[in-house]
Structure 1
């Protein structure tokens, strides 16, 4: 008599970008994998990196990640506890889900500092689509009274600048309040921060650096809020001000963009023993993303890999790949400290940071060019010999980033030419000079060798490379390099955006401008095929 053993059942708790990626990685390795996702939300997984584009369309479907196969069970409920002995997860809808492997992908939440008044109506965060809907409602309510809406963003990091941009797009006057001496203090140095603040201020955004928020109160009319701001921190050797209060700011909405914290409560709600957490929060794992329970893994922002949580999507995707390899019996590569490079266009201003941007390496030599006339700033950090690139900062013009970031750790001929070339062109080095080990897409850990192998296997367009390697499908900063690599390999390129649109991005822009269609389902029915994907949905959201 022959008996059959059911395939192992993997339960993923959390359906954000990394939870979705974990499911797709498992399915890539085993298309028939038994997977249940306990989403914690009522909506489908969506692209949080492209959150700002929601303001342009207010169409949630444009940000949705690709659909999973029908045999994947998605439970729209909140996980409440784990029975480690029985290997079950309890949900707030009464469901009890059994697992062979449990993957915690619960993500993080927006942290709000305990400023008095932080919980008043009109105070919110910038984290989810629902948050943006709340911000929109508050601003529209203020406008209905006949006044120009005003908003304050507390926090001048990446999310803070994105939130200020959302306020501006919604027609509100934005203020950014940052306790540090400059905007984006993690990514940008002092000189770059000065230029960044100047350029953003020119766009109509009021900048308050070295400034804290003492408390928030309802105004006398109780239809808006008053912020009491503290004075700038005095320079070393300077006396502290006798009156620490410098201003009161009346606003309609306060948006907190002060960082995130891991959602790790399930670790505490595990029986018979809780799962260990890192001292600063997060579910503790080893570098194979396994907790102390061999049947439970953690990925993404809730995972404290060797005690450290990472708040970018790229290391989250890496953890998803590691866990998928391990669960399916493949040899998993241990997690390595990730590339934290970033390139963004914030309020229309290019900002990039990569490698050792703050020159912390012993013997590092920074080379800088500050051009206030053209509104650009560039710094390259070289090693003590001046030949090897360690990192850099670019503000105002970040076109050189695509070539410079993969060159970190490599010899860089004539580095100053990268900072002085008009338009950010790299005059001395082309993509052919990059080694095969150079990482072209940091979000998805795709190397030049991976791209060349895909081209050899028949990829003949940027869309093909995106589909078969995932390069360029997250932040998009490497898309230009993909085209250059195709050219370098002598490939006559297909300009199609993706498998659903045979037109190029420029042609699709013209179609949208000519027809004024701003609804993705209508647009793809007229100009494309299928239902769209992670390439065309965010691209069209940006175009709309």
Structure 2
């Protein structure tokens, strides 16, 4: 006879949801009852698609948990509920509603929280972050078509926020500390093409620029943003999208170690120092490093689920930072050693201002092995180039980029 154990999952974001799906989907013998403590007022949803909420989508369109999962009798999903205490000796979790839940395994999937620069005025009425459905709904309610708005952060999330403001009829400015947008994913040439294309859509980029303060009007609400160089930008509202920080407050409660830059410190199996506690997703510092994308969180969830079910599991071997994206309708991609940091690396660049496209291949010192690259304006070559990364090129770089015969 199988003894049912209780799995407590702290958090119901995208990684936490994948874990629940994997456990319940593969638990053929009824080994686990799953209690999910979800801070938000709704079940897990696709956080990557938040901008679609201002383009006709409804919150339920983003939902990840279908009726089959939500109706599973093995699942106890508690919304608006967080963990406030843990007794590792007794293996119990105390919840914000006062209830106490015993666990056979505890998985921390608390995610991350937006980083808001601690500048004067950062908490004025009219300042928002871009993280949840409720955040987007609040921004939509505050938007005034025709007015200027400022997004702080020129990474992927910041550009998504700028796109949302465009869809709401506002005139967005983007303030970014790096010399070009999406500097983590693409190089200067790709950033230039992206910046030009974004500018053509009506988004004003300020790169590099440092936020100094947020100023209020006579009504006490946001009215302007001041930059370190003395520039003042009109702002009917401000959206902070300048990165995230892992939600690891429970580390102190649990007596568990954090990574150097935050996050619950776990090994390659996503295990903490306590053999009954794991961490996955953006809050997990695997080998000391947190990963802020959805795909690594999914892989962590899958490896933990297999461990819980006693099935063979692969260790989490790190995140592939390669990405092909469409930002404000503009195609960009970065893969492998996109910034040519490998010693002896050679860069092959094809820059076409007339077509608004840019491509760079990073080759090893032998000029034959592909290490990575950047594409902007067009990413039609990405699927082939991605599969060739780390291998010898079967054709000349020009041919691979354009699809036309070339010579070495």
TM-score tier (shorter): over 0.9
Partner of 1:182: 180
Partner of 2:218: 220
* 1:86-125 equivalence runs, <5 A: 86-125=90-129
Q: Distance in 2 between matches of 1:171 and 1:70?
A: 45
Partner of 2:20: 23
Q: Distance in 2 between matches of 1:415 and 1:126?
A: 43
Q: Deviation of residue 83 (structure 1)?
A: 0.8
Aligned residues: 398
Partner of 1:371: 352
Q: Distance in 2 between matches of 1:88 and 1:208?
A: 50
- Aligned partner (choices 162, 165, 168) of residue 164 of structure 1: 162
Partner of 1:40: 39
Greater relative CO (CA pairs within 8 A, separation 6+): 2
- Superimposed CA distance per residue, residues 430-477 of structure 1 (whole angstroms, 9 cap, x where no aligned partner): xxxxxxxxxxxxxxxxxxxxxxxxxxxxxxxxxxxxxxxxxxxxxxxx
Partner of 1:249: 233
Asked whether the 8 Å contact 2:174–2:203 carries over to 1, the reply is yes
SS of the residue aligned with 1:269?
A: helix
Q: Distance in 2 between matches of 1:221 and 1:128?
A: 27
- Aligned partner (choices 401, 404, 407) of residue 382 of structure 2: 401
Q: Distance in 2 between matches of 1:137 and 1:415?
A: 53
TM-score by length of 1: 0.71
Asked whether the 8 Å contact 2:124–2:221 carries over to 1, the reply is no
Q: Does 1:361 align with 2:358?
A: no
- Superimposed CA distance per residue, residues 46-81 of structure 1 (whole angstroms, 9 cap, x where no aligned partner): 011212212212411100003212321111211111
- Superimposed CA distance per residue, residues 287-320 of structure 1 (whole angstroms, 9 cap, x where no aligned partner): 1110000000000100001110000111111111
| Cα 1:415–1:40 shift into 2, 3 Å | farther
| Pair member with larger Rg | 1
* 1:409-488 equivalence runs, <5 A: 409-418=390-399, 420-421=401-402, 426=403
Partner of 1:133: 137
Q: Distance in 2 between matches of 1:305 and 1:370?
A: 38
- Superimposed CA distance per residue, residues 398-438 of structure 1 (whole angstroms, 9 cap, x where no aligned partner): 121122112211222224235652xxxx457xxxxxxxxxx
| Cα 1:109–1:130 shift into 2, 3 Å | same
The runs of 5 or more residues in structure 1 that have no matched partner are 232-244, 429-544
Q: Distance in 2 between matches of 1:49 and 1:285?
A: 25
| Cα 1:415–1:317 shift into 2, 3 Å | farther
Asked whether the 8 Å contact 2:259–2:289 carries over to 1, the reply is yes
SS of the residue aligned with 1:57?
A: coil
| Cα 1:198–1:96 shift into 2, 3 Å | same
Q: Does 1:261 align with 2:245?
A: yes
Asked whether the 8 Å contact 2:126–2:221 carries over to 1, the reply is no
Partner of 2:202: 204
Q: Distance in 2 between matches of 1:347 and 1:34?
A: 43
Q: Deviation of residue 149 (structure 1)?
A: 2.0
Say what the alpha-carbon RMSD is for the aligned residues: 1.5
| Higher-helix-fraction structure | 1
TM-score by length of 2: 0.94
The runs of 5 or more residues in structure 2 that have no matched partner are none
- Aligned partner (choices 70, 73, 80) of residue 70 of structure 1: 73
Partner of 2:318: 337
Q: Distance in 1 between matches of 2:2 and 2:206?
A: 63
Asked whether the 8 Å contact 2:224–2:235 carries over to 1, the reply is yes
Asked whether the 8 Å contact 2:125–2:221 carries over to 1, the reply is no
| Higher-strand-fraction structure | 2
